Amino acid sequence: MAHYALLDENNIVINVITGIDEDDTTNLPNEFNSWEEFYGNFHNATCKRTSYNTYNNQHYILTNESKTLSDTQEKAFRGNYASVGFTYDEINDVFIPPKPFESWTLDTTLLKWVAPVAEPILTDEDIQAGKRNNWIEDTQTWETITYTD
């Protein structure tokens, strides 16, 4: 099983589909060279394969219980697992998430957006108590807030 991102004319992801593994070409119709080409033709969109296990330009082993960094990073593919709204950067062949705030900048190594001020670290106790950090764009500061049910 593989995942494929469908792109609009501006290289924005409009859908992500599950498809046939890119290495399994036994059922690929003769007129197509790849499953990307096949799915793109079928959906009338540009299609790019995306790795379900790649986030922040790193490959992870995902289970129901955990997300563990892979021993080998050769499997990291196209920077991030694509989601609707992501941009495909065809020059660098990567997916970039939407920019969350105007002041944030793209970390081109990890392919994620970072705030101009480091986010405060919350302890496990803070997280258990429902505390979360919230970015305030107007003041460009972090605010720790407590969520209650």
| pLDDT tens string 44-93 | 999 999 999 999 999 999 888 888 999 888 888 999 999 999 999 999 99
pLDDT of res. 46: 97
Confidence of residue 148 (pLDDT cuts 50, 70, 90): confident
Report d(CA 87, CA 95) in Å as an integer.
6
Percent of the chain surpassing pLDDT 90: 83
pLDDT of res. 149: 64
Asked if residue 35 lies in contact with residue 4, where contact means CB atoms within 8 angstroms, the answer is yes
| pLDDT tens string 107-121 | 999 999 999 999 999
C-alpha separations of 114 from 16, 28, 50, 110, 111 in Å = 25, 41, 23, 10, 10
pLDDT at 14 over 70: yes
pLDDT of res. 110: 94
pLDDT of res. 16: 97
